[in-house]
A and B are shown apart, each in its own frame.
Chain A
Amino acid sequence: MPVIVIAPIAAFTIALSSVRTRRSSANLAMIGVVTSMLATLLVGWGLAKRTTPFLASYQYINLPVAFTGPVNFQGFGIDIVLRVDHVTVVALFVVELCLAGALGWHQVMGRSEPGAARFHALVSLLLFGSVGVLVSWDLAEMLAFWGIAGTATYLLLAHRWGSDLAAARARIALVLPFVTDLSLLCGVAWLYARYGVQNLTTLLPILHTNPGWTVRSLVVASILLFIGLAGRLALWPLQSWLTQTSVTAPPAALAMAQATWSVVAIVVMYRVMPVFVASNTQTLQACLYACAVAAVVAPLLSLAGNEPRRAITLLGSGLTAVGAAIVIYGFLVPNATFAIAGVACIFAAAPARAGALLAVSAIAGAMRTDDMAEMGDAWNRMRASALALGLAVGVLALSAVGAMAFALSSRSRLGVALGEAALVIALGALRIFPGVAIGPLRRRRAFEPDRVREAPPPSLGWPYWLALGGAALLVASFIRGWLDFLDGGKHPAPSVTTYVLWAAVVVVGFAIVTLPYVRDKDGALHLSAVAGAWARMAFNTGWRTVDRFLVVPVAAIAVHVDRWIPDGDERVGGAVEASGRLATSGTRLPALPVAIVLAIVLTVVVGLIAPGVFR
C-alpha cells in the first residue's frame, strides 16, 4: 500500500535531482503514475473480497507538551495513517487515470511548452499530494498533503513563465485556494482545540461526548471545513481560480487540476460529513442551499461567453456542486444511504471533464482561437478530436443522472433545483460540441482554415480513453451494486422511471440546444457573447466597487501608517536632539545660579505634588 504514495514522490525526487530533458522527465512522471496505478489496482484486488480497509500507520511527530491537564492535550502527535477502503481505491484509480491521460496527451501536444522537466516534476508532486490526501485518515496529515497538492497545482497553473497574461491570471490561482485552504486549516485547528485529537477514527465517536463540546463549536468547524472544501471543489463563487486560468495555463495542467481536485475534495467532504451532521440541521441545510445555488449558477454562467475551456470549467463546477449537494443531502435525510451516489457522480465526471478539456484544447490550438464564434467544422477537419469532445461532453451532461435517480424525488424542492441544474449543465455541455464541430471555419487575419489539421495521432487516443473511462464510471453509477461496493452498504434500487425521468431532463437540454445551433449557430453564439460581455461587465463593476470601497482605503491606511511611524520616529529623534543641545548649552551657564534655580523649581514641584497641599 505505501507504494501508492512512494512511487510519485520517488519520481519527483529523481526528477528534481537528475532529470533535465523533456522526454526523460515525461517518461519518469508517467512511470510514477503507472506504478502508483498498478499498486492501486493491486490493493483494489485485495479489497475486492474484504469489507475492512487496509491500514498502515507511521509516527511523524510525537511531542509531549504537558504532564497535567486533560489527557488529550498532554501530547501532540501527527501520524501518517494510510487507510484505503473501497471509495479510496476507486478515487485513487480515477485520479491516476486522469493524470495518466493528461500526461500522455501533454507528451505530444505540450512539446512546445517551456520547462518540461519542471512541469513533469510538478505533476509527480501533484499526484503525491492528491494520493496522500485520499489515503489520509489523520486531519493534520491530510492538511499537509492537501497543501502539497495545492502548491503543485498553483505552480502548474502558473507554468508559463514569461507571459504577462498567464502571470496575471495565475495570481488568483495562488490567492483564492490559499484562502480556502486556510479556512480548512482553521476548521481542523478549531476541532483540535476542542477535542485534542485529529485522527478521524478517534475524533468522530467523541463529537458529542467529549467534555466541553458545544453545538456552536461544531457549527463553526463545519462552516470552516465547508469553505475549505468548496474552494478546492471550485463551487461558485469560488471557481475563479480555475476559470481565470482556463486559457493561460497549459491544457494538461488545467485538466489535471480540475479532475484531481474534484475527486480529492469530494472524498474528503464525504469523510468529514459526520462533523457536519453532529453540528445541527440548519448548518447542513445552509451548506446544501449553497451547493444547490452553485449547481445552478455555475452552468448558467457557462452559457455566457464563448470560451469553450471556461465553459467546461464552469460546467464541471456545476456538476461538482450537484455531487456535493447529494452527499450533503444524503447525510441530512435520516437513515438515507445515497450520499455515496454523489461521490460516484464526481468519479464519472472527472475523467470526462479532463477528456473534454484536452480535446477542446487540441481543437482550439489547431484553430488558433479560444472563441467558439470563430471555430467550426471540426467534425470534418478534426474528426477524432471532435468525436472525443462529443463523447466527453455527453458523459459530462449525463453524469449526474445516476446520483439524482438514487437520491432525489422530482417533486421535492431540491429535486427541482438540481433538475434545473442538470438541464442547464446539459445545455451548456452540449452546446460546445455544435459550437466547435459544425458550421463554417472562417478565414481570419493570419489564419488559413485549410491548414487546420487533426492533432498528431499519438495524442488522439488520450481524450477518447478518458471519455470512455468516464462513460464506464457513468454506467457504473447507475448500478446499485457499484454503490454497495463503494460504501459497503445496501442501497435500494431506483425505479426505471426515475432513471428515465432524469435522463429525459438531459435529453430535453440536448434538444433545446441543438435546435438553435443547427438553425443559426452564429446567432446563438452572438447571444452567448453578449451575455458573456454583460457578465464580465457585472463582474468588473463588482470588483471595482470592492476595490474602491475596501482595497484602496485599507491599503491607504497601511501606507499612511507606513509614513506616520517613521515621521513620528524622526520627531522623537528631533526632540531628543533638541534636549541634547539644551543640555550641552546648559554646561556653558554659570553653575551656581542654575543650581539655585533648579532647587527652587524642584522644591515648588515637590511641594505641589505632596499630598498635604491638596488636603
Chain B
Amino acid sequence: MILLNFLAASPSPSPATVPGAGIFTSPLLLSLSIWVPVAVALAVAVMPNPRGRYDVLMKQIAFFANLGLLFILFIAYSQFQSFLPTMQYEEKVPWLTVIGASYHLGVDGPGMTMLMLSGLIGIASVLASLGIRERVRSYFCLLLLTQATINGAIVARDMFVLVLFWASAAIPLAILILGWGGPRRQPAAWRMLAYWGLGTAALAVAAMTLYAVTGGSSFDMDVVLKASITPRIQLVIGLLVLVAAATRLPVFPLHSWFRDAMSEAPVGVAVVVAGSATRLGAYLLLRTLVAAEPAAAQLLSPLIAALAALTVGYAALAALRTADLRHAAAYLALIPGGVTMLGIAAVSPIGIAGAVLSLFAGGLAAALIVGVAATLSERAQSRNLQVLGGLAPRMPTLTWLFIIAALAVLGVPLMATFASELMTFFGAFKTQPIGAFAVAAGLALAAVAFAMLLRRVLFGAPNPDAPGVSDASLGETWYLAILAGGLLWVGLFPGGPKLPGTDAPLFDPGLVNVMSAGISDIASPYTGPSPGGTTP
C-alpha cells in the first residue's frame, strides 16, 4: 500500500537551470536516498559468502551503492530550485493515522546541503574501510544502515519519523565500534550510546510536548513547527532540543563520548560519526529551534553562544595537553561544531547562512582531521605523541592532508570553512559580539594546538626509536582527497563554476545558491534593525 502511495505521489520539481537538469526525475528521490542503502545492506546480508570468499565483492558493492547514491543526490542537488523557499522533493504518505504520524519527507536548502555532505561522507567512509578484514559482510551492512538512518533524519518532515531515524542511527554505529573498534571499544561504545540515548530521550520528549500542545492530532512538522506556541512552552522545547543537539554535535559539557568514540572507532566509522552523524545535532537545532521557535531561539541564543565558545576553547586546550594523536584530532574536530553553534546563536540571517554552510564545511573538516589522524597513526604504528616525530619527509601525502585539515579547521581561505566562518562571524558580531570574540580566542588557541602538533608529529626531527612508517595507500589517499577536495571545491567555487563571461552555471549550481533556498524563510523572524545606539 505504501509503495502504491509512493508511485501516486507528485513528481519532484525540476527546473532546467543547470545543464543536465531534468534528465532524470523521480517522485522517490528522497526515499531512494534512504532505502537504497537499506536494500543493498539487506542484499549483502543474505549473499552467500563461504569463508569470506566474496569479501572484496562486498566492498565493491558497498562502494558502488554509495557511488550510485551520490549520483542520485547530485541529481537532486543540480535540479534543486534555489529560488523556492518551500520544501522540495516532498513525499507524503499516511502511516500511523491513529496518532497522526505520516511518512513525510522533504528538503529545503539546508537539508540539501546536509544530504550532499552525507553522500560525500558515505563514499569516503567506504573507501576508508577498505582495510577491514574481519566480518566484512556485517561491517558494510551496518555502515550502509548507518548512512540510511542519517539520510532519513535529514529528510524527515514528521517528528515521529525524525525521532525514529535519529534514535536508530545510534544502533549500527555502536555495534560497529563494539565489533571493529580498538582496545577500549566497549566503554567508548557504551558511552556513545548513553549520551545519544539521553539526546534521543530529550528529542522524544520535545516531540511529544509539541504534539500535545498543538492539539495532539499530527506529528507533521508543517503542523507542529508552524503552530503558535507560548514563549514558555517554546523555551521548554528549546531546552530539550538543545540537550538533544548538544549530545549529538557534541557540545561541551556533553562531549565526552566523542573523544573515546573517535579514538576507538575504525577509521571509516570515525569519518561517518565526525562528518555527518554529528552534524545532525546542529541541523536539528536549526530546523526545530531557530526555524520554528523564534522566541526560544532569541532567549537561548546567549546560552548557545556561551556553549559554542566553551566548546571551541575547551577543545583547543584539551588538544594542547593530550599525548595521543587521535585524542587531539577528536578534540580539534569539535571546533567546527562550535563555529556552527555560534552561527546558530547569532540568530541573524547572515549568521544562519554561515551556520548552514558550516554544517557542510565543518562536517568535511571534522571528518578530514579525524580521518587523517587515524590513518597517520595507523601508518606510523603509534598514536603516542612522544613517539611520533619528523614524519613529514617520510609521509608527504599524509603531511599535506594533515596541513589541509588543520587549515580547514582553522577556517583559512581556499577552504569552504573560510566562507562559513566569515559569514558566521559577520552575523555573530551583530548580535553576540562577546560570544564571537570568545570563539575567535578559542580559534587562536586551536592554532597553538595545531602548531604544537605540526611541530611534534610532522616537522620536527625524526625519532630513531619509533616504529617504521609508510605513506598513505591509494585507498586512504582517495578517501582523504575526497574530503579535502570537497572543502577546496566549495572554498574556490561557493557559487559554482560559471561559463566564462556569463552567469550560467556549469555542472554545479553552487552550494551557497542551493543552501540559500529556505534560509530567508528560516531567518524571517530575525531581521530586526541594525544594532548600535544613537548618533553622537
Contacts and interface: CB of A to CB of B under 8 A. Distances in A.
Interface of A: 59-70, 72-74, 76, 114, 140, 143-148, 150-151, 155, 158, 161-164, 166-168, 170-172, 174-175, 178-179, 182-183, 185-186, 189-190, 192-194, 196, 210-217, 554-555, 557-559, 561-562, 565-566, 569, 573
Given A63-B353, A212-B530, A569-B194, A164 B451 contact: no
Interface of B: 190-191, 194, 253, 255-256, 260, 314, 317-318, 320-322, 348-350, 352-353, 390, 392-393, 399, 403, 407, 410, 412-414, 418-419, 421-423, 425-430, 433, 436-437, 440, 443-444, 447-448, 450-452, 454-455, 458-462, 494-495, 503, 512-513, 516, 519-520, 523-524, 527-536
Contacts of A214: 532-536
Contact of A559 (B321, B413, B440, B459): B321
Contacts of B520: 64-67
Contacts of B536: 214-215
Given A76-B353, A164-B460, A212 B436 contact: no
The 8 closest A-B pairs by CB, nearest first: A69-B527, A212-B532, A558-B317, A65-B349, A147-B413, A167-B459, A193-B430, A193-B429
B429 A186 contact: yes
Given A114-B393, A158-B454, A147 B314 contact: no
Nearest to A69: B527
A574 to B, nearest CB: 12
Contacts of B393: 114, 161-162
B353 A170 contact: no
A63, A194, A569: residue with the most chain B Cβ atoms closer than 10 Å: A63
A555 B425 CA distance: 26
B450 A174 contact: yes
A166 B458 CA distance: 12
Given A67-B520, A166-B459, A192-B429, A211 B447 contact: no
23 contacts: A59-B503, A60-B495, A65-B349, A65-B523, A68-B527, A70-B527, A144-B413, A147-B412, A155-B403, A162-B392, A162-B460, A163-B459, A168-B460, A174-B451, A174-B454, A175-B447, A185-B440, A186-B425, A186-B436, A186-B437, A212-B531, A555-B317, A558-B314
Nearest to B415: A147
A68 to B, nearest CB: 5
A65 B320 contact: no
A467 B314 CA distance: 49
Contacts of A67: 520, 524, 527
Scoring B350, B444, B450 by chain A CB atoms within 10 A of each residue's CB, the highest score goes to B350
Nearest to B357: A63
Given A161-B459, A167-B459, A555-B320, A148 B413 contact: yes
Contact of A565 (B256, B523, B533): B256
Contact of B529 (A60, A69, A171, A174): A69
The residue in A59, A162, A561 that gathers the most chain B C-beta atoms within 10 A of its C-beta is: A162
Contact of B455 (A167, A215, A565): A167
Nearest to B527: A69
Given A76-B350, A144-B418, A213-B535, A162 B516 contact: no
B256 A566 contact: yes
Contacts of A175: 444, 447-448, 451
Contact of A167 (B260, B460, B534): B460
A65 B427 CA distance: 11
A72 to B, nearest CB: 7
A211 B530 contact: yes
Contacts of A212: 529-533
Given A217-B532, A559-B321, A68 B444 contact: no
A183 to B, nearest CB: 8
B341 to A, nearest CB: 17
Contacts of A65: 349-350, 352-353, 516, 519-520, 523
A573 B194 contact: yes
Contact of A189 (B410, B418, B422, B527): B422
Contacts of A144: 413-414, 418
Nearest to B528: A69
Given A151-B407, A190-B429, A70 B530 contact: yes
A178 B450 CA distance: 11
A282 B374 CA distance: 52
B326 to A, nearest CB: 15
Contacts of B352: 65
A62 B495 contact: yes
Contacts of A140: 422
A189 B425 contact: yes
A162 B394 CA distance: 10
Contacts of A74: 349, 527
Nearest to B535: A213
B85 to A, nearest CB: 9
B528 to A, nearest CB: 6
A559 B320 CA distance: 10
Contacts of A60: 494-495
A225 to B, nearest CB: 13
A189 B429 contact: yes
B530 A194 contact: yes
Which of A74, A178, A217, A555 has most B Cβ within 10 Å? Answer: A178
A569 B512 contact: no
Given A148-B414, A186-B425, A569-B191, A170 B459 contact: yes
B344 to A, nearest CB: 14
Given A66-B520, A182-B444, A185-B422, A565 B253 contact: yes
A167 B388 CA distance: 14
Given A210-B530, A558-B321, 19 more contacts: A63-B513, A68-B524, A70-B530, A73-B530, A143-B422, A163-B460, A171-B454, A171-B455, A172-B451, A178-B410, A179-B447, A182-B444, A189-B426, A193-B531, A212-B533, A558-B314, A558-B317, A565-B253, A565-B255
Contacts of A145: 413
Contacts of A70: 527, 529-530
A168 B451 CA distance: 9
A209 to B, nearest CB: 9
Given A73-B349, A189-B436, A178 B447 contact: yes
B484 to A, nearest CB: 13
A566 B256 CA distance: 6
B444 A179 contact: yes
Given A555-B320, A569-B191, A569-B256, A76 B529 contact: no
A63 B528 contact: no
A64 B523 contact: no
A185 B536 CA distance: 26
Contacts of A162: 390, 392-393, 459-462
B372 to A, nearest CB: 17
B444 A161 contact: no
Contacts of B433: 190, 193
Nearest to B315: A558
A253 B380 CA distance: 30
A215 B531 CA distance: 13
B455 A182 contact: no
B294 to A, nearest CB: 13
Given A178-B410, A569-B194, A158 B317 contact: no
B461 A164 contact: yes
A66 B393 CA distance: 50
A64 B519 CA distance: 8
A134 to B, nearest CB: 16
A73 B318 contact: no
A182 B392 contact: no
Given A61-B494, A65-B349, A185-B425, A72 B407 contact: no
Nearest to A125: B414
A143 B425 CA distance: 13
B432 to A, nearest CB: 10
Contacts of A114: 393
Given A68-B527, A114-B393, A193-B430, A59 B349 contact: no
Contacts of B427: 193
